[in-house]
Structure 1
Amino acid sequence: MRKYLDTIDWGRYLLLFIAVLPLFVFRDFTKANELRYLSIADEAIRDGHLFAFYNHGAAYADKPPLYLWLVMLGRTIFGDNMAGLMTWMSLFSVVPALVVLRIMNRWVRPLVPGVPARRAGQLMLYTSVYFIGSAVVLRMDMMMCMFIVLALHTFWRIYSGESDRENRLRRDRLLFPLWVFLAVFTKGPVGILVPLVTVIVFLALKREWRKIGTYWGWRTWGILLGLCVVWFGAVYAEGGTAYLDNLLVKQTAGRAVDAFHHKAPIWYYGVSIWYSLAPWSLLAIGVLVWGLCRWRRMALTDLERLFLVAALSTFAVLSMVSSKIQIYLLPAFPFFIYIAVIWIAKAGVRRWMKWLVGVPAGVLTLTLPGLFVAAKQIDFPLLDSMFVPVGAALATLASVACLVWLWRGRLHTAITTLAGGLLATIFTVSFAVPQFNGYLGMGDVCGAAKAVGDVAGIERYYTYDIDRAENIDVYLGRPVVLLETPQELESVERGIVITYKERIGTDEALTRAFAGQEVHRVGDYAFGVIHKNDER
């Protein structure tokens, strides 16, 4: 029987993986971050760097090396096969997300014995906007989140005596600092900040100050410092003092105290969490507030205290850090969702909980009619593919079914139905992505420009007024010249200039440059083939 249940369990994770797989197979890389990682990886492979990274010659100490190593490995294996490379890199976003789901599911089993409740919890977390968003973009945040959850789970195993009962105490005492280091090695200081603060605050609330050294003692700090010394020594050997200073001072203290990127006020996460956890934010935060108001009557277990501390202390500490974007709060999301799952199982389903699911479900019933309204209002080919209205219809039907289940008093079934419908929508709409890639990324326009350039014998490529366009060298196979002023644009004698298509006719310098020249439009972009003073 246990083997049969495990098979079903793994089958569920496979379905969750398949739900987002077509999106990776069909979509283009985003120019903001994903193309930059590829360009950095290409430069590192070309120059033989493993610890000090550069983006077009400029030091890139923003991120530790682990994730970039994976990009380099994928580039080495798949070369210019972008679909294969995208699928490879997706494994390091989706698989960590599934690992987090599995750990949380097994972790809460003693307090949430019901399978429907745990399944609903998994789907709530997986379909939260910024959790699934982190699972379908090529970033290192989900890997860091996985290592942080592994570190806190390992801490709990030691603290609760589970490691000792299984004769794995020695192993877990080594794994705890290893998970923490891997979190740091993936994304940076948040990887140590979250488990450090969570463990200390938890033990402080338990009035077990003396035990802090058990988890953050000489063994933990010795392993962390030893690994960091090797890492920083390798960075110094490759990049020198300037790069090491950039990594340890500018990218750490600078972002924490007075950020030069993503600076936001202290209340930022108090606003962003409402849409980051959508469509479950009303339920998760509502149950959290309700439980805190009944603090003394809840008779909290140690596991509940740990989850509560992990959620709230991470929220508080990251709110005090100067640099903020929604995805930085990712390590707290599993604990916000699962403390709600535990308290619903503990206190029972209340009528107001159904309303907190019903309100977003009611809004989502408007997905299909909203699609047709949006298609008339925005300049985007939403209805060019049948998969989009079919996906919208699935979201609307799932939302209606969710409301029906809520009316029948089946909260967990309602949550599962709505979440399943959202995943079906993502799966379906993914097949329309190839038609939208010209708007989502620059692969299509670069491919078209390169094809025209090869025929015309043009080897010079330019971009005009496009942010972060230097990294399209990944597609073109050669450096790109960035044009930022009309004077620079007018100086181009021969080459291909890529720009936003909406600029043609509105930008005087661009209109003059493209006058009488061959112009191609691809998705959101256009390129002109400049032949000044050429005999044609």
Structure 2
Amino acid sequence: MKANKYLLILLAFLPLLLFRDFTPDNELKYLSIADEAIRNGNFFTFTNHGLIYADKPPFYLWIVMLGKLLFGTHSMLFLGMFSVIPALVVLYVMDKWIASEVDLSNRISAQLMLITTGFFLGAAVVLRMDMLMCMFIVLSLYTFYQMYEGKGTKWSGFLFAFYVFMALFTKGPIGLLVPLLSVVAFLAVKGELRTIGRYWGIKTWGILLICSAVWFSGVYIEGGNAYLNNLLFNQTVNRAVDSFHHKKPIYYYFEVIWHCLAPWSLLCVGVIIAGLKAKIIRTDLEKFFLTVITVTFVGLSLISAKIEIYMLPAFPFFIYLTIMLWQKVRLNKFVSALIAIPTVILGLALPVVLVLGRFKSMTMLNNPIIYIACGLLTVVAILTLLSLYKRKDLHRAVNILAGGLLLVIFTGSFSIPSFNEYIGYKELCSKGKEVARHKGIKTYYIYNPNRMGNIDVYLEHELKDWKELEADSISSSKAILFVRTRDISRDSLLKQKVAGKEQFTKGNCTVVIF
């Protein structure tokens, strides 16, 4: 895939990064943590409103801090590049990896499929460390395979250890476990486990230990035993054995894999199962890709803490193994059906939006750009089905559907400004600050700090918790309260206190003036 095609993919995501607000759950939290670290002069240890935040290693938070120091504010475009560019790197590496075994047309289809795979696409446009970790894991596994085939250089051993450490330093233990278990399992399958020292030997473990020692020393100097213990045990052992966060049953990933890999989930699972049944997974590369998928899937299922995004490193291998197998399977009608089913569902986008737009709670969908994007998706679905059943061209059908999805994303992204008040808190806070300036108010309250505490990124002002105050004190003070509208209806005392007060609503939240 030529460089200009990577630029086209980047262009498809650009409006999202230019127009979208930060989401409250994670993105805004990372910004708030970075701001707090800058104020406190911390580099290795982090807090979120004074509470220890050892959930994530520091690498991604350093990137967030760097952006704030460079631009004086948090730039969605700058931070977004650390998701989009790693995604493009994964596409490039995977394409290079299979180039000797797969022709160009199949490789183009593979890249288009991967970049439009549900959670891979999502990880490429949200501000999280997951795509960075995925990139380092793919690079580490690619480097291992180069060494395994005898194509490595004198630097390959150092690069392998470096990539593994960076995956660990970006996200945590998953970044170490996926490369380690994948390599061990593959060598076991090949009957070559005795050669493990070539890849996971003194050099690799030495580099990992030295780099980790520097990291943990910095943590200890800044945060002491409490922070180090939280990082090493609470966020690793406890999450793995009996998680306090994201605890899910062992079969969780069997349930969610279908929407995570959509719209290619039926195709991937169906082709891989057919390939296993026909015993056509024969090359070392096919066996290695299957090993990575299996180890990641099974290994993560055994860990107590589970969320869909943890499966991200397996998605490139799902897609590319499918591409390597789908012509060997020789079941064109079967493969066509696996593509057609999600295509038909996507083709219903326009009629579904037209119906939903009639409901009062969904009036935000009555946007000309949304209609255009959904109309395009319906047209793309029709063209895909025509390619499948009239032209009987699988490659063309896949390319039309995937390319069309990128076009739909690009087009639909221009409607984002009208949804920002529902996506994030920027417009809410702008309204609150405007009222505060007009009325001379200097006190800000929030009702639910766990949900809204990170709006300090926008307000750049101390926030007080309404629940910590005496019931009547807020009524007698000159202040602004930021609250989710649903919380007003749930809390009778709060509902009583805000009754009759001047209020402004933005999205799902309300600004109350006292």
**Shorter-chain TM-score above 0.5:** yes
Which amino acid letter does the alignment assign opposite residue 33 of structure 1? Answer: N
Q: Which moved more, 1:239-248 or 1:509-518?
A: 509-518
Is residue 483–residue 489 contact of structure 1 (8 Å, CA) maintained in 2? no
Map of 1:470 onto structure 2: 453
Matched, 1:59 2:77: no
Displacement after TM superposition at 1:453 (Å): 0.6
Structure 2 residue aligned with 1:12:
5
Shift of 1:384: 4.1
2:90 to 100, 108, 125: 100
C-alpha offsets along residues 268-319 of structure 1, whole Å, 9 cap, x if unaligned? 0011001100010000000011111122xx1611111110000111100000
Matched, 1:276 2:260: yes
Please, which of 227, 233, 246 is the counterpart of residue 230 of structure 2? 246
Q: What is the distance in 1 between the residues matched to 2:179 and 2:283?
A: 19
Match of 1:179 in 2: 163
Name the residue aligned to 2:150: 161
Which residue of structure 2 aligns with residue 214 of structure 1?
Answer: 198
Query: 1:114-193 to 2 correspondence within 5 Å?
Result: 115-163=104-152, 168=153, 170-193=154-177
Give me the identity figure in percent: 47
Q: Distance in 1 between matches of 2:387 and 2:364?
A: 31
Q: Does the 8 Å contact 1:387/1:428 carry over to 2?
A: yes
Preserved CA contact (<8 Å) 1:470 1:481? no
Q: Structure 2 CA distance, aligned partners of 1:382 and 1:90?
A: 26
Distance 1:378 1:18, change over 3 A: farther
C-alpha distance in 2 between matches for 1:90 and 1:184: 21
CA offset at residue 378 of structure 1? Answer: 6.2
Paired amino acid for 2:385: L
Contact 2:133 2:167 in 1 (8 A): yes
**Distance in structure 2 (CA, Å) of the matches to 1:354 and 1:231:** 50
Do the aligned residues in 2 keep the contact of 1:406 with 1:414 (CA within 8 Å)? yes
2: CA distance between counterparts of 1:488 and 1:278? Answer: 49
Per the alignment, residue 21 of structure 1 pairs with: 14
Deviation of 1:347 (Å): 4.1
Kindly indicate whether residue 210 of structure 2 is the aligned counterpart of residue 197 of structure 1: no
Matches of 2:180 and 2:69, distance apart in 1: 36
Q: What secondary structure is seen at the aligned counterpart in 1 of 2:100?
A: coil
Partners of 2:281 and 2:240 in 1: how far apart? Answer: 37
Partners of 2:486 and 2:225 lie apart in 1 by 45
Provide Cα deviations, 1:102-139, integer angstroms capped at 9, x if missing partner: 111111112211x2211111111111111101111111
> 1:45 corresponds to which letter in structure 2?
I
Q: Secondary structure at the match of 1:513?
A: helix
- Which ranges in structure 1 are unaligned for 5 or more consecutive residues? 1-7, 531-536
Q: Give 1:505 deviation, angstroms.
A: 6.2
After superposition, the C-alpha distances for 1:240-270 in whole angstroms (9 at most, x for unaligned) are: 0110000000000011000000000000001
* Match among 63, 71, 77 for residue 78 of structure 1: 71
Following superposition, the deviation at residue 348 of structure 1 comes to 4.5
- For normalisation by structure 1, the TM-score amounts to 0.93
Write the deviation string for residues 125-158 of structure 1: whole angstroms up to 9, x where unpaired. Answer: 1111111011111110110000000000000111
Q: How many angstroms apart in 2 are the aligned matches of 1:16 and 1:33?
A: 25
Q: Does the CA-based 8 Å contact 1:116-1:413 persist in structure 2?
A: no
Does residue 80 of structure 2 align to residue 90 of structure 1? yes
Deviation of residue 349 (structure 1)?
5.7
Matched, 1:426 2:415: no
Aligned-partner Cα distance in 2 for 1:16–1:106: 18
Q: Indicate if the aligned counterparts of 1:466 and 1:500 stay in contact, CA closer than 8 A.
A: no
The 8 Å contact of residues 486 and 509 in structure 1, kept in 2 or not, is answered as no
Tell me, yes or no, if the aligned pair for 1:52 and 1:238 is still in contact at 8 Å: yes
User: What does the per-residue CA deviation read over 1:158-188, in whole Å, with 9 as the maximum and x for residues that have no partner?
Assistant: 111122xxxx2x1111100000000000000
For the 8 Å contact 2:106–2:395, the answer to whether it is kept is yes
- Give 1:463 shift: 1.9
Task: Name 2:312's counterpart in structure 1.
Answer: 330
Distance in 1 (CA, whole Å) between partners of 2:231 and 2:472 is 36
C-alpha contact (below 8 Å) 2:19/2:414 kept by paired residues: yes
Amino acid at match of 2:17: F
| Aligned equivalents of 2:452, 2:148: Cα separation in 1 | 50
Alignment partner, residue 354 of structure 1:
336
1:413 corresponding residue in structure 2: 396
In structure 1, what is the equivalent of residue 287 of structure 2? Answer: 305
Of 496, 500, 510, the residue aligned with 1:526 is: 510
The range that moved more, 261-270 or 119-128, is: 119-128
TM-superposed CA distance for 1:392, in Å, is: 0.5
Supply the AA of the counterpart residue of 2:343: A
* Rounded Cα–Cα distance in structure 1 between residues aligned with 2:469 and 2:405: 46
- In structure 2, distance between residues paired with 1:268 and 1:484: 36
Change (3 A) 1:60 1:331: same
Alpha-carbon RMSD: 1.7
Q: For 1:432, what is the secondary structure of its paired residue?
A: helix
SS in structure 2 of the partner of residue 51 of structure 1: coil
The more displaced of 222-231 and 521-530 is: 521-530
TM-score (norm 2): 0.96
**Distance in 2, Cα, partners of 1:487 & 1:275:** 47
**Equivalent residue, structure 1, for 2:278:** 294
SS at match of 2:361: coil
In 2, Cα distance between equivalents of 1:227 and 1:9: 36
Contact preservation (8 Å) 1:490, 1:509 = no
AA of the residue aligned to 2:376: L
C-alpha separation between the residues in 2 aligned to 1:50 and 1:328?
Answer: 26
